[in-house]
Structure 1
């Protein structure tokens, strides 16, 4: 896991639920099959209503017009309660398949947070303030995990993030099972 992540931001509002992140009709795909894993990327965020996508300027497409399977956005900046709804472990898989490396939200539904960490799919960070009022879709961001800081390279603003703490070694190992093997908890 890199200690610094750079990329364009995609801004979402509050209460983005797992059915918005990956709608139920796409759960027939198997993420263990590479061709089907790509489909999770294609349909990532396809259930987000227009008034929640690309805040504050209205709907901005999440996917690259040149490649429907990936997104040009590497960092999602969201409001409160990101990943609420069902315990769908496919939600962080879909975002990772689309190329997202990190999500920065005010706070998460615990099940999304744990699924992101347990699978090592992406880095869920919590902000100390409401970033969706200070970051626009398309802004270039830098996340420094060691300093627990987000810098908006477009505006020059910096924001403190909650440290990853005890979950960082799990993410660095690639998820809970690789961490447990590395730590000698599993054979």
Structure 2
């Protein structure tokens, strides 16, 4: 082992030069000195211990790759590693923002579709209404369809049917009573017993 690396007090430049010349003990000493600072910064910046470990390893790998080209007396090794760590953390934070929140943090979207049971009830109700409308006198059925299925107002219905508004209201009222009577026995089968429909 090189005499300089046998002393923990050797400068970062000396340890990096010793590593570049093949001294693995120098690498261990330099890692012990620099890694805790890098790891601490990355943990604070990223808030994720695993990512902080990854950043620390990447900084040290970059340091080892550039060790043969290091010029002593220029930038301090500790400053260089800190700058690399800061930049790697910034890159990761930007990537997070572009990617959005983690999938585990995103709530499942509400399923807007009705349940199978609700859809079956809807179809059964529609079929029962169609059958009940077919049993009404044609003018009552037409007035009810235009008002409640097409959503038209009484004046529009009057124009379409060529009758007055009072006659429209009368047809609709009689049609609704007849529908209610014919559908009342089917309420439990149509899932209407609890919803007051």
**TM class, shorter-chain normalised?**
under 0.3
After TM superposition, the score normalised by the length of structure 1 is 0.21
Larger proportion of helix: 2
After TM superposition, the score normalised by the length of structure 2 is 0.20
Larger proportion of strand: 1
